[in-house]
Structures are given as structure tokens and as C-alpha cells.
Amino acid sequence: MKTILITGGAGFIGSHVVRLFVRKYPEYRIINLDKLTYAGNLANLKDIENEPNYRFVKADICDFDTILALMKEEKIDGVIHLAAESHVDRSIKDPFTFAMTNVIGTLSLLQAAKCHWESLPEKYEGKRFYHISTDEVYGALQLTRPEGDPAGNECGGGPFGDEFFKESTPYNPHSPYSASKASSDHFVRAFHDTYGMPTIVTNCSNNYGPYQFPEKLIPLFINNIRRGKPLPVYGKGENVRDWLYVEDHARAIDLIFHKGKTADTYNIGGFNEWKNIDLIKVIIETVDRLLGNPKGHSLGLITYVTDRAGHDLRYAIDSTKLKKELGWEPQLQFREGIEKTVKWYLENQEWMDNVTSGDYQKYYENMYGNR
């Protein structure tokens, strides 16, 4: 019997990880700890909330005393840490919140795990602290290959350059979000190097799929197309991101949590680069088709707006190490993933409307209080 603390489990990726672990490992006890910020939504976990091996705890990772008490009460063996402020645009407006949650919150969680595990007779034996991070800590890459280069993949036209982020790429974060994630990664590694904590860090590319908060590009644009609202494309839409279906990320997390090497780092990505504007056209085509609109119907919603400050040009992850060492590969092809994702948002308009109106928070405030 293992008891695993998953932080940020009411968010986008966290909810997929919680669902996977609760269903796949009935012999584990899964504790989902989440502050339920604007990004946390327990409706993301409705289908598993009554499972006997699942417990939800509303708490802030910065609250060291509460976290330590919970770790002792539940005899936590492993931590999978996803709780974070995750949106780059918000970090540009409010960097303090990002430093607080992502840096101090991670430190508080590390320190609580250290105090709990060091108090046990077996100490760190059989324990693991797994920190989920991002490719954004590596900075930005150049666009060195023109579109249509025969070396590119068949769907997006990528790769758009010869360089990729590898596990050995030096950190060079540009946004307050990525600077806070980089700092938290350093703290995690410092706890291994200084105290011998069995840590592991992974850096993943852009995720997409069901339950993503509609401030992020894909759900925002699907919802805006459905409602006939403008689609704000930052700058010229030339920036490149590497997209991975969220369940493929969750599978990688499961594999690495169980089989990854202690103190190691793994990059996780889809080898699936897209220029924003090309991706947006695929989304428009898919939504229009599924809504029964004529071809090209929503193209006129594209609206070029002022670029994001410090907008990183290209992210591209090299996940060869994960494939070679642990045999992980994405299972879903991009076209299939986008089709599935668009269908999910169109079929779950109530979820989307609750999130955009803020109603989901009122409901859960009654249940857990608004601390």
C-alpha cells in the first residue's frame, strides 16, 4: 500500500494524473491537495470523487504546518507536485503570486516532506518527490528551418529548427512564470544534493486536451469560435510550440514516478511543433466542421493583437532519453488528439460555461469554504 500526495490535482494536468492513478492503482491511496484557485475545479474529477482510494484536501502548498500535519496523518510515501500558477500572461501582470506559489510553495512542500520522511525509521527508503516542470525553463530557440522543409513532419511543417531542448540545456527562463518554475526546479535538486531526498524532475512541452482552463490558447479559441468572438493572435502568430496530448503526459508521469532514476531529469514532448497561426487554422477547420459551418466560416475571427511581452519564439523538446530509457512515446497522433479535444469542449459546454461564468467556484465554496 502506497499513499501518494498529488498537488494541484483539481487543475488541468493534475486532474488527468489523479484520475489515472485512482483508477489504475486501487491499492494506492491518492490524496489530492489543491487550493482551488481560479484554475482548480473539482468538476474535473466528478467521475472519480467517490472512489474509496481517493481523498480531496483543500489547502495551500505554502501552508507548511498544514502540509506537514497531512503528510504525517496520511503517512505519505510519494509526492507528485503539479500545483502551480501556470499562465504566462498572468505572470507578466502579477509576478509575486508566481514567486509565492511556485517557489515558496514548492520549498514548503519539500521541507514538509523532508521533516516527515527524516522522522521515520526508514527515512527516505521507498520515498519519492516528483516535481512537474516545464520546457519554458530552457528559454527560447531560433526558427532556422523554413516552412515546407522536406525534413519537417507531415502535419505541422515542423521541426522549425535544428536545435532542441535537451536535459543538458542550460536554464535561461524569460518570463516571470518560467523564472519561478526554474527556481523551483533548482530547489528540488538542491534537496537531493543537500539532504539526499529522492527527487525527480520532468520538463514537459505544451499540453492540450479536456479540462484545460480557457485562458490557454486551445480551449480559449475553441470557445471563442463557438461564440463567434474574435481570436486574439499575439504578434504575427509565428511563434512555435510543441504540443502533447495531456493523457500522454499523464502516462509519462506514471512511468517516471515508478521507473525513473532518482535525482534524474527527463524531458517530455511530442516532437510535434506548430506555428501558432497554423495550429489556429486547424482548430478553426475542426470546430467549423463539427458545428456544421461552411468551410472557412470562422477564419474572419482571426485578429492580430499586440504581442506578449518577452514572447518566446520557439519551444522544441527532445524526449529521446525518455524513449530510450523507459520506452515512452506519445500514443495519440496530433490530428486525432485535436479532433478528440474539440469534440470534448463542444460536448461539454456546461463545463465551459460554468468555468467562464465563475459558477464552478460558488458551488465548491459552499462545500469547502472560501479560505
Catalytic residues, by residue number, are 135-136, 177
181 binds ligand NAD (CB under 6 A): yes
Q: Which three cell numbers stand for residue 264?
A: 534524474
CB under 5 to 8 A by kind: which of ligand DAU, ligand NAD, none does 315 bind?
A: ligand DAU
Spatial CA neighbour of 305 closest among 217, 220, 233, 240: 233
Query: Whole-angstrom Cα distance, residue 26 to residue 21?
Result: 8
The angle formed by the CA atoms of residues 200, 201 and 202, to the nearest 5 degrees, is 130
12 binds ligand NAD (CB under 6 A): yes
Task: State which of residues 61, 70, 99, 110 lies at the interface with ligand NAD (CB under 6 A).
Answer: 61
Q: Which three cell numbers stand for residue 289?
A: 466542421
Judged by CB, which is closer to ligand DAU: 276, or 286? 276
Judged by CB, which is closer to ligand NAD: 133, or 298? 133
132 binds ligand NAD (CB under 6 A): yes
Task: State which of residues 4, 5, 6, 10 lies at the interface with ligand NAD (CB under 6 A).
Answer: 10
Residue nearest to ligand DAU (CB): 134
213 binds ligand NAD (CB under 6 A): yes
Judged by CB, which is closer to ligand NAD: 39, or 279? 39
SS3 of 200-258: EEEEECEEECCCCCCCCHHHHHHHHHHCCCCEEEECCCCCEEEEEEHHHHHHHHHHHHH
Spatial CA neighbour of 268 closest among 181, 129, 357, 167: 167
Which ranges of the chain does DSSP label H, i.e. alpha helix?
12-24, 64-74, 88-93, 95-98, 106-118, 176-195, 217-226, 246-259, 276-291, 320-326, 334-347, 349-357, 359-368
Residues in touch with ligand DAU (CB under 6 A): 86-88, 134-136, 205-206, 216-217, 220, 232-234, 239, 241, 276, 308, 315
Binding range to ligand NAD, per CB under 6 A, among 203-211, 220-228, 254-262, 327-335: 203-211
The angle formed by the CA atoms of residues 350, 355 and 359, to the nearest 5 degrees, is 90
Neighbours of 187 (CB within 10 A): 18
> With contacts defined by CB under 6 A, how many residues of the chain interact with ligand NAD?
30
Q: Which three cell numbers stand for residue 304?
A: 492580430
Query: Whole-angstrom Cα distance, residue 31 to residue 9?
Result: 9
Write down the least CB distance from residue 348 to ligand DAU, Å. Answer: 19
CB under 5 to 8 A by kind: which of ligand NAD, ligand DAU, none does 209 bind?
A: none
Beta bridge partners, 4, equal 30, 78
40 binds ligand NAD (CB under 6 A): yes
CB under 5 to 8 A by kind: which of ligand DAU, ligand NAD, none does 88 bind?
A: ligand DAU
Write down the least CB distance from residue 182 to ligand NAD, Å. Answer: 11
105 binds ligand NAD (CB under 6 A): yes
Q: Which three cell numbers stand for residue 279?
A: 495550429
CB under 5 to 8 A by kind: which of ligand DAU, ligand NAD, none does 61 bind?
A: ligand NAD
Give me the residues that bind ligand NAD (CB under 6 A), please: 7-8, 10-14, 34-37, 39-40, 60-62, 82-86, 101, 105, 132, 134, 181, 204, 206-207, 213
